[in-house]
Structure 1
Amino acid sequence: MDHILKLDDLLHESSSDDELEIISAFAIAKERLENERGSISRRGSSRRRKAIFRNSLQGEENILRDYFAASPVYPPRKFRRRFRMRRELFLRIHDAIVDHEPYFVQRRNAAGKLGHSSLQKMIAAIKMLAYGVTANFMDEYLRIGEATVMDSFKLFVKAVISIFSVQYLRSPNEDDVARLLAIGESRGFSGMLGSIDCMHWKWKNCPSAWKGMYSGHVHEPTIILEAVASYDHWIWHAFFGLPGSHNDINVLNRSSVFTNLAAGRAPPVNYSVNGHNYTMGYYLADGIYPSWATFVKTIHAPQGNKRKNFAAAQESARKDVERAFGVLQARFSIIRGPARLHQPEMLNEIMIACIILHNMIVEDERDLYQEADAFDYEQINDTPLEPLSREHTAEALDFIQNRHRIKDREIHSQLQSDLVEHLWQIHSQS
């Protein structure tokens, strides 16, 4: 405010009667000018974000000393508990991701300063998955900023899906089917390939315009995961992304769980129960699922010892998928708590990556489960599946006939009756 005159000039031009009024006006104007300058200075300082010297090398030294040294501070069981996997599996994933994604390679910036290491970025991503914490939670220990953590997290999830989904999120091949049938036979359920059910993941930051579509019986926005799991918690099928307003039947009609079977590309399944031969495997399911030939459900309000024995055995074995959900959420708390991201595509990638890592841990620690010697998940059938050609009438008719066989209610009732007798024979002999 250069237009304000100096105090001496004001007093020289004014009369003695106006002296007090002029001094007061000048003091007020001077105070207002100082306040304006101070506010401008404060606004400028708030806009300019000062760079934080985090000493990223110190964060890397902390990691190497605590977990990767020749004699680390924390023993292997602590590593397994905090990172949800053994160190050997962690390093295997680390090497594959560094080779696949250049972002995780440690580099120098334009000033010649060494950036964050691949271990820092990967550990930050895994801790977000394992503990469900925010991006700035690991700053004090890892010495890594929030923006870098989020970039590492998103790229880590994408890399896991790109590298490992073919092996660890595949449909059962012939060897897998034979193994699953043998395990089902030992448990009294000949022809069983696993259990199927749905799980809801609460979506905290669901856009307001979508809340009605994503809110179901829990009256909160959720996203549904349909999964098929076997006795060792391996998840063979995962279909994620439908709004929580759907029920299990709606999800089933949209999923691809029986696509290969309907297309005639599924491995052959042949077994016999109570003197009857069957050519399709089945999944144990709860009461909401339809009475198809590929589902075996419990008996509501069973009457008689045979039916009660069957209901108890079916409800016990069906909890394989419930246990798999529990283990999955215990390992990765990010999908146990409410989802904080806004993009449904990113939530889908997080869920699929957690399932892939879960299956990798199951494979790495399969000696902890029963029938350990029977599991060999490294065997992969790399033969590409031939797409179903709708141009050929014969193939189209086969597809329709297979769909009818899958939904055959008579086979469902006959299979349930045979299993009732089969389980009662096993119970009587024991």
Structure 2
Amino acid sequence: MTAALRHLAYGYTPDTLDEYLQMSQRVGRESLHNFCKCIIEYANVYLREPTMHNIHGLYEGHDRIHGFSGMLGSMDFDGIYPTWAAFVKGFSSAIDDKCSYFTKKQASALKDVERTFRILQGRWHILQQPARSYKVNLMRQLMYTCIVIPNITIEDNGYNLAENDWVVEPVQHIQHTWIDRCDARARRTRELRDREVHKGLQSDLVEHL
């Protein structure tokens, strides 16, 4: 485990610990892979989809921290993104104080996902380096390990916004025809790219703040 953590945290190559830990390059590589396999056994808990209880907790936390109610996820959207319903952008030219304040608040909530990945890179230096494996599954296991461990730490320290209620919600499997799936995809695409919904959401957020 010491070798695996040093590989992850410091980005050491397997052959750099052969003298310090009396471990060959092959054993060092295998210890990293076996460690990752053990950690991702917890992925069903710490990388699972949020329950409705979790989502409401994330809503409340996002509203408390950033002031945007009903927002889930990143708000990393500026002028380069299209005017779609899924994107909430600030104003490139604020026309009044409300729009200016909204743009300032939106900028303060920017790039949550990018900041999270920077934190992961700062904690796990192996993510700053080119991939050493040509196998997609091994690269996936390594990335999941670098995500699961901080999630476990956050929960142990009591910093998680949504408590882990350990409730597995039943999933209903409904069979749809090919035509139904095509219609549903077309409907979702129209809803995603709806400019009027984007303008309405932007206007509502301006008034909310």
TM-score (norm 2): 0.85
What is the letter of the counterpart of residue 47 of structure 2? L
Unaligned stretches of 5+ residues in structure 2: none
Deviation at residue 155 of structure 1 after TM alignment: 2.2
Q: CA deviation at 1:151?
A: 1.0
**Partner amino acid for 2:71?**
M
- Who is 1:169 aligned against? 47
Say which of 9, 25, 36 aligns to 1:146: 25
Alpha-carbon spacing, 1:194–1:124, altered in 2? closer, same or farther (3 Å): same
Q: Name the aligned partner's letter for residue 19 of structure 2.
A: E
Instruction: Tell me which protein shows more helix as a share of its residues.
Output: 2
- The answer to whether the 8 A contact 2:85-2:191 is kept is yes
**TM-superposed deviation, 1:123:** 1.7
Q: Describe the superposition over 1:55-114 as per-residue Cα deviations: whole angstroms up to 9, x where unpaired.
A: xxxxxxxxxxxxxxxxxxxxxxxxxxxxxxxxxxxxxxxxxxxxxxxxxxxxxxxxxxxx
Match of 1:331 in 2: 123
* CA gap 1:403/1:170 in 2 versus in 1, 3 angstroms: farther
Partner residue, 1:132: 11
Evaluate the alpha carbon distance shift between residue 134 and residue 395 of structure 1 in structure 2; reply closer, same or farther with a 3 A threshold: closer
More strand by share: 1
Report the Cα offset of residue 410 of structure 1.
1.1
In 2, the alpha carbon distance for the partners of 1:381 and 1:292 equals: 34
Which one of 41, 44, 61 corresponds to residue 183 of structure 1?
A: 61
Q: In the aligned structure 2, how far is the partner of 1:318 from the partner of 1:380?
A: 30
Structure 1: 5+ residue runs without aligned partners?
1-121, 196-283, 424-430
Give the TM-score, by structure 1 length: 0.44
Aligned counterpart in structure 2 of residue 401 of structure 1, from 171, 179, 187 = 187
Q: Supply the distance in 2 between the matched residues of 1:128 and 1:356 (Cα, whole angstroms).
A: 16
SS at match of 2:50: coil
Structure of higher CA gyration radius: 1
Q: Are 1:352 and 2:148 an aligned pair?
A: no
CA distance in 2, matches of 1:332, 1:319: 20
Aligned residue for 1:354, secondary structure, equals helix
How far apart are residue 130 of structure 1 and its match? 0.9
1:346 aligned counterpart, secondary structure: helix
Instruction: Give, as a single letter, the amino acid of the residue that structure 2 aligns with 1:292.
Output: W
Using a 3 Å threshold, how does the CA distance of structure 1 residues 160 and 323 change in structure 2: closer, same or farther? Answer: same
Residue 395 of structure 1 deviates from its aligned partner by 7.5
Contact 1:173 1:380 in 2 (8 A): no
Shift of 1:169: 1.0
Q: Structure 1 residue aligned with 2:76, among 279, 285, 297?
A: 285
The aligned counterpart of 1:123 is 2
Q: Return the alpha-carbon distance in structure 1 between the equivalents of residues 171 and 82 of structure 2.
A: 28
Contact 1:129-1:332 at 8 Å conserved across structures: yes
Q: CA deviation at 1:317?
A: 0.8
Query: Is 1:417 aligned with 2:203?
Result: yes
Count of aligned pairs: 207
